[in-house]
Amino acid sequence: MRVKYLKLDRIEGPLIVLSGVREAVFGELVDIEVNGSQRKKGKVVQIDRDRVVIQVFESTSGISLGNTSVAFTGHPMTVPLSRDILGRIFNGIGEPIDGAGFYSDKKYDINGRPINPVGRRYPRNYIQTGISAIDGLTTLIRGQKLPIFSGDGLPHNELAAQIVKQAKIAGAREDNFAIVFAAMGIKHDEADFFRKQFELSGVLNKVVMYVNLADDPIVERITTPRCALTAAEYLAFEQDMHILVIMTNMTNYSEALREISSAREEVPSRRGYPGYLYSDLASLYERAGMIKNAEGSITQIPILTMPNDDITHPVPDLTGFITEGQIILSRELFQKNIYPPINVLPSLSRLMKESIGEGYTREDHPDLANQVFSAYSHVQDVRSLAQVIGEDDLSELDKKYLEFGRQFEQKLLNQGFEGNRDVIESLDIMWELLRVLPKEELNRIKPEYIDKYLK
Amino acid sequence: MEKHAGEIIYINGPVVKAENAQGLKMREMVLVGKKRLIGEVISISKDTATIQVYEETSGLSRGEEILSTGSPLSVKLGPGILSNIFDGIERPLLAMYKDGNAFIPEGVGLVSLDEQKQWAVEMVAKEGDYLTAGQVYATIQETSMIRHRLMVPPHLKGKVVFAERSGSYTIEQTLVTLEEEGSRHELKLYQLWPVRQPRPVAKRNPIGKLLVTGQRVIDTFFPLAKGGTAAIPGGFGTGKTITQHQLAKWSDADIIVYIGVGERGNEMTEVLEDFPEIKDPRSGKSIMERTVLIANTSNMPVAAREASIYTGITIAEYFRDMGYHIAIMADSTSRWAEALREISGRLEEMPAEEGFPAYLPSRLAQFYERAGDIETLGGSGGSITVIGAVSPAGGDFTEPVTQNTKRVVSTFLALDKALAYARHYPSINWLRSYSGYVTDLKDWYDENASPEMLELRAKLLRILQEEDKLQEIVKLVGEDILPDDQRLILEISRVIKVGYLQQNAYHADDANVSLAKQYRMLRVIDALYENAIKCVKKGAPMSKVKNDALFYKITTMKYNVPENRQEILEDYIREIRDYYDGLDKTYSKGGARHEG
């Protein structure tokens, strides 16, 4: 018979404190019973002599100092998993919320274990998303973590849904592909949008959803991505599937972390976020990848909105230091009615260099991408000059760059929500754009490729 | 050796407190709980000791036992370190993986160097010798590139009363027994050394040797010195890691210690997969044979991140003491500083700037001061060059880690977001970077490159600085309005930027460039400028002076002139002279006619 503790010392936000505890394990799961009927779960977050601080999932409302009993389980928080999770919807602590029950005797610790760098396989195979700006310039690689940095009101959800709809992994079987979707603090209509999109693209029975909506308890927001990634690891590394994990929205997640940290009266660092925000985010993002003794892979596309479009805000800043690149959406392009409004200059895929070119996409791809980046970066200088002296007074060469910029945005970027292009098609469009410029300007491309592809 | 030293009363993340812990010493290594997690005592108050734990603390419970080890956090120094990869406290990740699990298991305990492996030892010391600290008593060919010298540990000396014969031994076997004033010391194949204590040296030498990196922007413009210190700050996506990798691959140090501090797991995997394939340009052997990797990826325990740079530099000092030149790369020191901040926060210490503890500057200084060109106790020369990446929050160089690092390093390679966006790599900004070693290295350049090299460097830097000023004007009025000599500055700067400063890490002929070729390339650019400006002054129009084909040829010389045929560059200079001499004649004549 487990010991039950019947009296609390203090309740504060999502935390409860009780004393006189004889045995407690750091990080263990606790069962909480309110008024003898309502059941909740919690986790030990601090032990100080016989005083234990517990973080309560769901919410602490209804709890009083005397109406609650607490029992320690002695094991960490786990989530039950089997192949049957595909097509199901769970809440942030892994309980089904789609009306049916779920049982599996296989339970997994949601915190996972860090992957040994020696045990990793370096990602070297690209995923074709059908989006030129991504396939051509910031190629997504199987096993990569590539976040979308967006702003409120920008079409990041559409972009993520389009990637899910169009993604093709070179050399992988269709039926071996699944999506794990973690929703953290998003609105009901956003969750509905994703559900509808999954349904429309016919992948609904390949999606596992872990959902914590904006009005759900914030403590569960912390466990939502952990449950989702544990499910992803199970499917990828035990069932050898290729998993695409969409996590939205990491800003909400980080805010939940800050709220709990402040309730625990921890010393804040930048903008009130806890000092361990980097380590905490890393414990999620680093769960992407591939390992040597399994066939499957975990590719992560976390979505975050930059508060006030500020990329130096701690959440995008720390994310950028951990993830393997980023795709940045631009309000300016969005206002020009360009979809997807990807600002390619600050966008980056760190893993693409080894996974494009000969044997993967096409031999000219690395040089070509490099040249297009360099030219489009010059377009920005020319545009600011044109604002000062007017377009007419630009040199002939700069006028050509302006035209290149216009075509780049209209022909390459603006492909629409339904546009699905083969990677070779995207590369050919890039060559077409370069035709606007004089040949001497193409100093990043091997001359032989210019002769071969610049028709 | 291990004895009971208290029980756990408090757990908060990596911070644990123990009571009844009067026996513990500050900075002592302890084993925490049933799983014997490794920890270090970081403060003591009355009978309570605060311990930072180098492993995940989930699963610990109150009342579990603390064991004292009696010694400070130390690493084992001996054969088996090279070509290996360790975690932040020198536990072998390769060996952990061999047990078949791609994930790092819990409670690995105190393991480090392979105790089973037999090493072919060649004895140097024989009975009757008198050995002092730092003297070599045996050697081992550890990899085909590096001979491992077993040295008498610092603070020990004595007469050899026993010496084994050369042969095959494991690291725990005794090779030599020393006797001094009646006490005996057994010397095995390894020694232990506390990571936070610098290993002693005989004396420090002044800086005077270039660390050749094969990277043009560094070797020519912002040189690193053997025994010097450097920082590479840059926001995310500016190419810090790739710059560090380039230095690890191509610099002419004997041994590279690469520490991944709180960075991506895949980056360490990349090094593990790539380095064995890359040949060292000097010896032709795989560069993995001279490399040691320390990995504490961002999701590994944060306290071990704090320890990892000390583990790395202690290993570097050990090899330096054998008389080798070491380059140590820490990517990134900001993660180390954040680990300090995280632990400091959990201890509820008074925060200074941006939540970092007040002792951040002194800790940074202590780390970088372990660099140096020195004479070892054994009498040979060695050096440690420290190159630290810095990841400033929001790319803002005014934040505390960058600022405090700037105070203690001499070479500052500022990475620039705008350059990275234009895919100008390495994105080292030539106006914000500096090297304090240029004067110290003058003699070295004179002797090993050319007395002209530094003059050309200064000249090209002046051109680049002038270009920067001109760009301000161009932004307002456009390029066409400038006089021709200023337009030439812009054109030459373009050649310097694209043709010289940009270097392609993935191009066989461009990834690594010898100093001799760098000097020749500088002369080509200088010849272009000098001949062109002469013609501009004579009134030749820009359309003629900027010959597109010639400029294109010079901009792409880095790809077209391989290392073993660099004399072609002399033809380039002749071609430049011929073209401009022709132009010169036309306009001299034209000018004469006009005047007449």
ipTM: 0.89
**Residues forming CATH 3.40.50.12240 domain(s) in chain A:** 79-353
Taking one residue from A and the other from B, the number of pairs with CB-CB distance under 8 angstroms is: 222
The DSSP string of B426-484 is S-B-TTT-EETTTTTTHHHHHHHT-TTHHHHHHHHHHHHHHHHHHHHHHHHH-STTS-H
CB contact under 8 A, B345 and A274: yes
d(CA B33, CA B36): 5
d(CA B13, CA A45): 8
Contact assessment for residue B347 and residue B359, using Cβ atoms and an 8 Å cutoff: no
B75: part of which helix (H) or strand (E)?
Answer: strand B74-77
3-state secondary structure B338-397: HHHHHHHHHCCCCECHHHCECCHHHHHHHHHCCCEEEECCCCCEEEEEEEEEECCHHHCC
Contact assessment for residue A46 and residue A70, using Cβ atoms and an 8 Å cutoff: no
CA A73: distance to chain centroid? 32
Contact assessment for residue A333 and residue A178, using Cβ atoms and an 8 Å cutoff: no
- Chain B residues within 8 A of A292 when measuring between CB atoms: 102
Q: How crowded is residue B491: how many other Cβ atoms within 10 Å of its Cβ?
A: 17
pLDDT digits over B381-414, tens only? 999 999 999 999 888 899 999 999 999 999 999 9
Taking the CA of residue A204 as centre, how many other CA atoms within 13 Å lie in the half-sphere pointing to its CB?
10
pLDDT value of residue B590: 56
CA A368: distance to chain centroid? 28
Tokens representing A74 are: 């002695």
> Could you say which of 3.30.200.20, 3.40.50.12240, 3.40.47.10, 3.40.50.12780 is the CATH number of the domain covering A79-353?
3.40.50.12240
Q: Which of A48, A279, A348 to mutate to test the interface with B (most CBs of B within 10 A)?
A: A279
d(CA B265, CA A289): 9
**Among A417-421, B108-112, B434-438, B458-462, the least confident range:** B108-112
**Among A73-77, A335-339, B221-225, the least confident range:** A73-77
CB contact under 8 A, A292 and B102: yes
d(CA B372, CA B383): 6
**Among A414-423, B19-28, B517-526, the least confident range:** B19-28
Does B276 lie at the interface with A, CB-CB under 8 angstroms? no
Q: Which residues pair with B150 in a beta bridge?
A: B138
Q: Which of B259, B298, B399 to mutate to test the interface with A (most CBs of A within 10 A)?
A: B298
Average pLDDT rounded to a whole number, residues B256-284 = 91
Q: Are strands B381-390 and B229-233 parallel, antiparallel or unpaired?
A: parallel
pLDDT value of residue A171: 65
pLDDT band at A407 (very low <50, low <70, confident <90, very high): very high
Indicate if the pLDDT at residue B124 is higher than 80: yes
Q: If you ran DSSP here, which 8-state letter would residue A306 be given?
A: P
C-alpha torsion sign, points A226, A231, A232, A233: positive
Contacts (Cβ under 8 Å, ≥6 apart) of A103? A80
Indicate if the pLDDT at residue B595 is higher than 60: no
Contacts (Cβ under 8 Å, ≥6 apart) of B352? B358, B360, B400
The chain B residue lying nearest A382, using CA atoms, is: B475
Contact assessment for residue A264 and residue A109, using Cβ atoms and an 8 Å cutoff: no
Average pLDDT rounded to a whole number, residues B456-460 = 96
The chain A residue lying nearest B548, using CA atoms, is: A440
| Strand spans (E) along A101-241 | 107-109, 120-121, 126-128, 140-141, 148-150, 168-169, 177-186, 207-213
pLDDT value of residue B237: 83
CA A330: distance to chain centroid? 18
Tokens representing A346 are: 């600050």
d(CA A30, CA B23): 35
Contacts (Cβ under 8 Å, ≥6 apart) of B359? B340
| CB interface of B with A, residues 351-370, below 8 Å | 351, 354-355
Q: Which of B11, B54, B266 to mutate to test the interface with A (most CBs of A within 10 A)?
A: B266
Q: How many helices (H) and strands (E) does chain A have?
A: 13, 22
In angstroms, the separation between the Cα of residue A397 and the nearest Cα of chain B is 11
In angstroms, the separation between the Cα of residue B104 and the nearest Cα of chain A is 5
Contact assessment for residue A361 and residue A423, using Cβ atoms and an 8 Å cutoff: yes
**Residues forming CATH 2.40.30.20 domain(s) in chain A:** 4-75
Amino acid at B155: H
Indicate if the pLDDT at residue B551 is higher than 50: yes
Contact assessment for residue A150 and residue A190, using Cβ atoms and an 8 Å cutoff: no
Contacts (Cβ under 8 Å, ≥6 apart) of B279? B285, B286, B287
Does A112 lie at the interface with B, CB-CB under 8 angstroms? yes
Indicate if the pLDDT at residue A58 is higher than 90: no
pLDDT digits over A86-112, tens only? 999 999 999 999 999 999 999 999 999
| CB interface of B with A, residues 325-344, below 8 Å | 335, 338, 341-342, 344
- Chain A residues within 8 A of B264 when measuring between CB atoms: 286, 322, 324
Among A59, A53, A46, A48, which residue's Cα sits nearest to residue A14?
A59
C-alpha torsion sign, points A346, A351, A353, A359: negative
Amino acid at B42: I
Indicate if the pLDDT at residue B249 is higher than 90: yes
- Chain A residues within 8 A of B273 when measuring between CB atoms: 122
Q: Are strands B119-123 and B167-169 parallel, antiparallel or unpaired?
A: antiparallel
What is the maximal distance between C-alpha atoms in chain A? 87
CA B10: distance to chain centroid? 38
Average pLDDT rounded to a whole number, residues A226-241 = 96
- Chain A residues within 8 A of B10 when measuring between CB atoms: 46-49
pLDDT digits over B138-180, tens only? 999 999 999 999 999 999 999 999 999 999 999 999 999 999 9
Q: What are the distances in angstroms from CA A38 to CA A68, A221, B40?
A: 9, 21, 43
Q: If you ran DSSP here, which 8-state letter would residue A22 be given?
A: S
Among A365, A372, A379, which residue's Cα sits nearest to residue A453?
A365
Burial class (CB in 10 A: 0-12, 13-18, 19+), B158: buried
pLDDT value of residue B596: 34
pLDDT digits over B315-335, tens only? 999 999 999 999 999 998 999
Tokens representing B119 are: 């090493």
Which residue is associated with the tokens 């010097």?
Answer: B228
What is the maximal distance between C-alpha atoms in chain B? 105
Contacts (Cβ under 8 Å, ≥6 apart) of B548? A440
pLDDT digits over B442-452, tens only? 999 999 999 99
Angle between helix A277-285 and helix A218-233 axes, rounded to 10 deg: 30
pLDDT value of residue B592: 46
Average pLDDT rounded to a whole number, residues B112-119 = 93
Name the residue facing A122 among B102, B269, B355 (closest C-beta).
Answer: B269
d(CA A157, CA B446): 61
Does B515 lie at the interface with A, CB-CB under 8 angstroms? no
pLDDT digits over B62-114, tens only? 999 999 999 999 999 999 999 999 999 999 999 888 777 899 887 787 888 99
**For residues A34-71, b (16+ Cβ closer than 10 Å) or e, as one string?**
beeeeebbbbbbbbeeebbbbbbbbebeebeeeebebe
Burial class (CB in 10 A: 0-12, 13-18, 19+), B238: buried
Q: Which CATH code is given to the segment(s) A4-75? A: 2.40.30.20
pLDDT digits over A293-305, tens only? 899 999 999 999 9
Indicate if the pLDDT at residue B594 is higher than 50: no
A244: part of which helix (H) or strand (E)?
Answer: strand A242-248
pLDDT band at B421 (very low <50, low <70, confident <90, very high): confident
pLDDT digits over A240-285, tens only? 999 999 999 999 999 999 999 998 888 888 889 998 899 999 999 9
Which residue is associated with the tokens 């990793």?
Answer: A120
Average pLDDT rounded to a whole number, residues B130-136 = 95
d(CA A120, CA A139): 20
Indicate if the pLDDT at residue A433 is higher than 70: yes
Does A26 lie at the interface with B, CB-CB under 8 angstroms? yes
In angstroms, the separation between the Cα of residue A290 and the nearest Cα of chain B is 9
Tokens representing B107 are: 């409670």
Q: Which of A25, A26, A351, A360 to mutate to test the interface with B (most CBs of B within 10 A)?
A: A26
pLDDT digits over A143-152, tens only? 999 999 999 9
C-alpha torsion sign, points B117, B118, B122, B123: positive
pLDDT digits over A362-378, tens only? 999 999 999 999 999 99
Q: How many helices (H) and strands (E) does chain B have?
A: 17, 26
Contacts (Cβ under 8 Å, ≥6 apart) of B45? none
- Quick one: what percent of chain A has pLDDT higher than 90? 75
Tokens representing B164 are: 């084994």
| CB interface of A with B, residues 44-83, below 8 Å | 45-50, 76
Q: If you ran DSSP here, which 8-state letter would residue B317 be given?
A: H
pLDDT band at B22 (very low <50, low <70, confident <90, very high): confident
- Quick one: what percent of chain B has pLDDT higher than 90? 78
